[in-house]
Amino acid sequence: MRAKFALAIWAMAAPLATEAPPAQGVEHAADAACAQPVNANGARPRDYHPILQSCVNDAGARKLATRRMVLGAEALLLTVDPDSLATSLERARCWRCADTSDAAEADTRFMRALKKPEPTPATPKVLEDAGLSRGAGEGVFVTGDLCPSRRPLDRDFLELLARQGPGTPVALAISGLWIVHHADELDWLKQQAASGALNIVWVNHSYHHPYVKSRPDAQTYLLTPGVDIDAEIFDTERLMIANGITPSAFFRFPGLVSDAGLMDRLRERHLVALGADSWLALGPRPRPGSIVLVHPNGNEEAGLRIFSRLSRQGKMPRPFRSLNEAP
Instruction: Return d(Cα 210, Cα 248) in angstroms, integer.
Output: 22
Q: Quick one: pLDDT at residue 4?
A: 45
What is the mean pLDDT of the segment spanning 281-299?
Answer: 96
Amino acid at 76: L
Per-residue confidence band for 25, with pLDDT thresholds at 50, 70 and 90: very low
Q: Output DSSP code: residue 254.
A: G
Quote the mean pLDDT of the chain.
Answer: 92
Q: Quick one: pLDDT at residue 35?
A: 86
Instruction: Return d(Cα 290, Cα 135) in angstroms, integer.
Output: 6
Q: Quick one: pLDDT at residue 232?
A: 98
Instruction: Return d(Cα 278, Cα 121) in angstroms, integer.
Output: 26
Residue of 85, 50, 42, 41 whose CA lies nearest to 231: 50
pTM of the model as a whole: 0.90
Q: Where are the alpha helices (DSSP H) in the chain?
A: 2-18, 24-35, 109-114, 155-162, 176-181, 183-194, 229-242, 260-268, 301-312
Instruction: Return d(Cα 153, Cα 298) in angstroms, integer.
Output: 6
Instruction: Return d(Cα 25, Cα 30) in angstroms, integer.
Output: 9
Residue 294 CA, distance from chain mean position:
19
Q: Quick one: pLDDT at residue 122?
A: 80
Q: Quick one: pLDDT at residue 118?
A: 78
Pinpoint the residues of the chain covered by CATH 3.20.20.370: 131-325
Residue of 187, 168, 174, 166 whose CA lies nearest to 144: 174
Are the C-beta atoms of 323 and 203 separated by less than 8 Å? yes
Instruction: State yes or no: pLDDT of 27 exceeds 80.
Output: no
Residues 219-235 as b/e (b if ≥16 CB within 10 A, e otherwise) read: ebbbbeeeeebeebbbb
- CB proximity list for 228: less than 8 A, separation 6 or greater: none
Instruction: Return d(Cα 227, Cα 232) in angstroms, integer.
Output: 8
What is the mean pLDDT of the segment spanning 182-195?
Answer: 98
What is the mean pLDDT of the segment spanning 131-155?
Answer: 97
Instruction: State yes or no: pLDDT of 64 exceeds 90.
Output: yes
Instruction: State yes or no: pLDDT of 31 exceeds 90.
Output: no
For residue 89, give the H/E element and its range: strand 87-91
Instruction: State yes or no: pLDDT of 5 exceeds 60.
Output: no
261: phi > 0 → left, psi -120 to 50 → alpha, else beta; which? alpha
Beta strands in 112-223 (DSSP E): 126-128, 141-146, 168-174, 198-204
Q: Which CATH class is domain 131-325?
A: alpha beta
Classify the C-alpha dihedral 154-156-161-165 as positive or negative.
positive
